[in-house]
Amino acid sequence: MIKFGKKVVKFRIPILIISLLLLVPSIIGYLNTRINYDILSYLPGDIETMEGQDILLEEFGTGAFSVAVVEGMENKDVAILKEEIEQVDHVKDVLWYDSIADLSIPMEILPADIKNELKNEDKNATVMIIMMDTSMSADETLDAVEKIRGLTDQKCLLSGMSAVVADIKKICNSEAIMYVVIAAGLSTVVLSLTMDSFLIPLFFLLSIGMAIIYNLGTNFVAGEISFITQALAAVLQLAVTMDYSIFLWHSYQENQERYPGDKKRAMAHAISNTISSVVGSSITTVAGFLAMCFMTFTLGLDLGIVMAKGVVFGVIGCVTILPSMILIFDRAIEKTRHRAVIPDLGRIGNFVTKKYMVFIALFCIILGPAYYGYTHNQVYYDLVGTLPDHLESVMSNTKLEEDFQMGATHVIIADSSLEAKQARAMLKELEEVKGVKLVMGLDSLLGPLVPREMIPDSYQQILDNGKYQMMFIISEYKTASDEVNAQCDTIKGIIKQYDSTAMLIGEAPCTQDLITITDKDFKTVSAVSIVLIFIIIAVVLKSASLPVILVSVIEFAIFINMGIPSYTGTVLPFIASIVIGTIQLGATVDYAILMTNKYKKARYGGASKQESISTALNSSLQSVFVSALSFFAATFGVGLYSSIDMISALCVLLARGAIISFLVVAFILPAMFMVFDKLICKTSAGFLHKEKKVKAESAIL
């Protein structure tokens, strides 16, 4: 590794020039990477709800639909608005009263339930269904939503997933840059307080920032990334790779004392030392992110690959770009030297090792309640319910609930050859399902006063293409509620009796699948991350017992972090329970590995159990504290700022997790070492100190 370090030092100027030039294609790649704002699109393509959406798009030319609430307009004006909406690109059809009959014919001829759902006389509001010829989250669909909104002055509110996705896109585009600014700004404050130079934090952020741009730019190869990945990638990469830069700087300072007056040689050795230490610890972080790739809900694959790639770019930048910057701007760095504001914390080793039984007792006392809270968290799956109230999609959903008592909208796709008698019997059963407010199919419109001939052919073709027929179900229940999930199960049972190939699709059925799939993913990802990191620690530390101890300690921190919401009554986004534990384990187990390596070195050097553990804690605590505090700063500020609860909650949990992991590593891990020292020495390579080793060899001779 020393040869690599010398090469970096020798070619520091070309390295910096090349790294700057590489920003150009990276920025171009980033700007041309599509952002996917639709969570449900990451469901497996082979489940019935997703296959049904494909059929809807392929057979009916309809990929998305929205329910529009129009207020304070006469029927003739609504008809004009309907025509204008139909002229918007990618709007396929608009279903309203005049789709069924001419406005000159009184609305009273319609069946009472259809008439009442189309118009609320008390609120002077009417409802129309807008159907698109592109998929739910396609760029064309989102553009169409914005154009439809622009046709009226807050008199036409759009609900549905496409409207929600359009609003999420708007928020993300306005907030994404601020996420990075806040994370970088707060990290700078922390580093300025804990480092001994005002300028060095700037170079940390510049080198990490370049690695972030490389990472985001290479996402162009995948074609698109999710909005959650876009929002979190830069913040997480900054948080989890900052300690690599801190380690390089501390190693550089130590080697300057070893080689006074020869900064190039000191940096070459610092690079070598950093590679040896950082590569081992970064592998656990990469493994944690890659564990998310085992999710069948492919948002995990999206986030996992981007973040694993980001850690690799972070390590490369740390041992190439950052050393080049430090050497090139050495004079400027020296001029900004100052004493660290936060004092050295490395003096609590003796206290912790003497009182270790107290911390073991705390571990035993807290473990039960923490695990109970961890396994009894409440989670939500409804994206709309956590968005700001001022968004148009939220306002529209509220109007539908308050004025029309409408919640989720389902779509049934059935065989067109289903006999009319059976179709009417099925529709009748569906109307009687608890919480079903309206069933709208071709047969449901044929009341006693409406002969089939009165329904325009164009309208009939919308609902029946000769191969499949489509029906709309309006529910009183909200998406992701227990009531709507039970309702979906009942509806599926009914339609399958009449047509075994019939499918129920829509936001609520997709969300129901999301609940089932992510519950399994949570168990899979947790198991995979623990096994991967367990194996890595076993190989890196050459121990059979240390992986159990280290993973157990960090899992304890995860139980506390994820258990707190259960006791505070906080409802978490569903993705939190899957990714937080994996990220916290992969990113903060490094703290434990750093301390363990120092404990191992001291023990091998002949120090006693208590002296080794105390020395390890004292020498590593400051680095761990700075790393954890930087992680906290980068994520906590974004958590407070973001108006998207899914992003906000994830960042707050990560921030709290970093601090909890720090406290557990500082107090619980040394206590574990005190208790299991004999077991560790017997089951681990490199812990037998020199004196015992010599005695053992003499005894053999």
- Is residue 455 exposed (0-12), middle (13-18) or buried (19+ Cβ within 10 Å)? middle
| Mean pLDDT lowest among 101-115, 579-593, 607-621, 670-684 | 101-115
For the chain, helix (H) and strand (E) counts, in that order, are 28, 13
Alpha-carbon span 125 to 603, nearest angstrom: 78
**Residue 344: pLDDT band by 50, 70, 90 thresholds?**
low
Does residue 664 register a pLDDT over 50? yes
pLDDT at 119 over 70: no
More confident residue, 342 or 393: 393
Answer with the residue of higher pLDDT: 490 or 261: 490
Out of 95-99, 246-250, 431-435, 628-632, least confident range: 95-99
Confidence of residue 357 (pLDDT cuts 50, 70, 90): very high
- pLDDT recorded at residue 28: 96
Measured CA distances, 40 to 48, 161, 294, 306 (Å): 13, 9, 18, 19
Q: How far is CA 118 from CA 103, 157, 400, 453, in A?
A: 14, 15, 11, 21
Higher pLDDT, 327 or 95: 327
Please check whether residue 636 is in contact with residue 652, taking contact to mean a CB–CB distance below 8 angstroms. Answer: yes
List the one residue out of 356, 254, 275 whose CA is nearest residue 610: 356
Q: Which amino acid is at 386?
A: T
Question: What is the pLDDT at residue 694?
Answer: 46
- Length of the chain counted residue by residue: 701
User: Which has the minimum average pLDDT: 119-128, 170-179, 252-261, 556-565?
Assistant: 119-128
Q: In the prediction, which pLDDT does 365 show?
A: 96
Q: CA triplet 435, 439, 443: central angle to 5 degrees?
A: 155
Q: Which of the four pLDDT bands, split at 50, 70 and 90, describes residue 698?
A: very low
Task: Tell me if 79 sits within 8 A of 436, measured CB to CB.
Answer: no
Which range, of 79-88, 105-114, 531-540, averages the lowest pLDDT? 105-114
Per-residue confidence (pLDDT) for residue 632, from 0 to 100: 92
CA separation for the pair 448, 67 (Å, rounded): 27
Confidence (pLDDT) at 116: 57
Strands 468-475 and 436-440: antiparallel
Please report, rounded to a whole number, the percentage of residues in the chain having pLDDT higher than 70.
Answer: 90
How far the first Cα of the chain sits from its last, in Å, is: 37
Q: What is the pLDDT of residue 11?
A: 93
Q: How confident is the model at residue 444 (pLDDT cuts 50, 70, 90)?
A: low
Pick the range with the lowest mean pLDDT from 243-257, 299-313, 483-497.
243-257
| pLDDT of 7 higher than 90 | yes
**Look-up of token digits 């040689």:** 265
Q: Which amino acid is at 73?
A: M
DSSP element (H, E) containing 380: strand 378-380
pLDDT-derived band at 701 (thresholds 50, 70, 90) equals very low
Q: What is the pLDDT of residue 92?
A: 87
Q: What is the pLDDT of residues 218-271, one digit of tens each?
A: 999 988 999 889 888 988 898 888 888 988 988 898 899 889 889 999 999 999
Q: What are phi and psi of 32, to 5 degrees?
A: -105, 15
Mean residue pLDDT across the chain: 85
3-state secondary structure of 277: helix
Chain Cα centroid distance, residue 501: 35
- Cα gap 581→409, rounded to integer Å: 34
pLDDT at 204 over 60: yes
Which residue, among 675, 203, 623, 172, has the nearest Cα to 391 in the 3D structure?
172
Look at residue 695 and tell me whether its pLDDT is greater than 90: no
Virtual torsion, Cα 310, 311, 313, 314, nearest 10 deg: 120
DSSP three-state, residue 68: strand
How high is the pLDDT of residue 111?
Answer: 54
Alpha helices in 320-403 (DSSP H): 321-328, 330-335, 349-354, 356-375, 392-403
With bands split at pLDDT 50, 70 and 90, how would you rate the model's confidence at 396? confident
Residue indicated by tokens 């994404």: 176
Residue pair 550/535 in contact by the 8 Å Cβ criterion: no
Residue 20 binned pLDDT confidence (cut-offs 50, 70, 90): very high
Of the candidates 69, 230, 264, 29, the one whose C-alpha atom is nearest the C-alpha of residue 159 is 69
pLDDT-based confidence at 425, cuts 50/70/90? confident
String of b and e for 480-514 (b: at least 16 CB within 10 Å)? Answer: bbeebbebbebbbebbeebbeebbbbbbbbbbbbb
Mean pLDDT of 358-375: 95
Per-residue confidence at 423, pLDDT binned at 50, 70, 90? confident
Nearest to 65, CA basis, from 462, 591, 385, 488: 462
| Residue 119, helix vs strand vs coil | strand
What is the reported pLDDT for 207? 94
Distances (CA, A) of 336 to 3, 242, 321, 329, 550: 31, 20, 20, 11, 39
Confidence band (pLDDT; 50, 70, 90) for 552? very high
Asked if 649 contacts 562 with a C-beta cutoff of 8 angstroms, the reply is no
Residue 498: which residues within 8 A CB-CB, separation 6 or more? Answer: 414, 418, 422, 423, 425, 426
pLDDT for position 388: 82
Question: How high is the pLDDT of residue 60?
Answer: 83
Alpha carbons 595 and 446: distance in angstroms, whole number? 76
In angstroms, the CA 102 to CA 85 distance is 18
